[in-house]
Amino acid sequence: MRIAFLTAPEGVEEVELTSPWEAVGRAGWSPQLVSTSAGRVQAFRHFDKGGTYPVDHVLGGATSDAFDGLVLPGGVANPDALRMNDRAVGFVRDFFEAGKPVAAICHAPWTLVEADVVRGRTLTSWPSLATDIRNAGGTWVDEKVQVCHAAPATLITSRKPDDLDAFCSALVREFAAVRL
């Protein structure tokens, strides 16, 4: 399976990118970094610069058709930039319309809100997004991981880096179930 990891060029929380990336690799799948521009993505460790990661696909040339699932890592700046990019929002919406699984952690549900895909769904996130999710028609819960099987696509969400073990386990389990 080919799994897209969508990030802005700068601001992704490093551990929220690398931990799910490694989990996808351990499952025998191919993680692919998709961004709004070519080159490298600058990750952060909270407010400090982390590593940089090569972009595999640029939005505009990449479509959901090329992938089996989508992971949206958090960080505050990353989803804030993505939700202001029409191509990124459309890319996310396409996964839902195609019935492909999506996983989002921490602040990443901001992009889901912008894509108008949380209505009628139950999800979790960093607590400061609870009102945004409710205002977009979703139900917010304070759980390590939340799996929502509302049609047409499975959505896996998690709150923060401390929840990565649960998030990665659920992501692999749910993405594999869709593939069966």
- Supply the residues annotated as catalytic: 106-107
Q: Which two tokens stand for residue 67?
A: 């992938």
- In angstroms, the CA 95 to CA 69 distance is 7
- In angstroms, the CA 83 to CA 173 distance is 27
Q: Specify the amino acid at residue 36.
A: T
The answer to whether residues 13 and 43 touch, using CB atoms and an 8 Å cutoff, is yes
- In angstroms, the CA 50 to CA 174 distance is 29
Strands 69-72 and 102-105: parallel
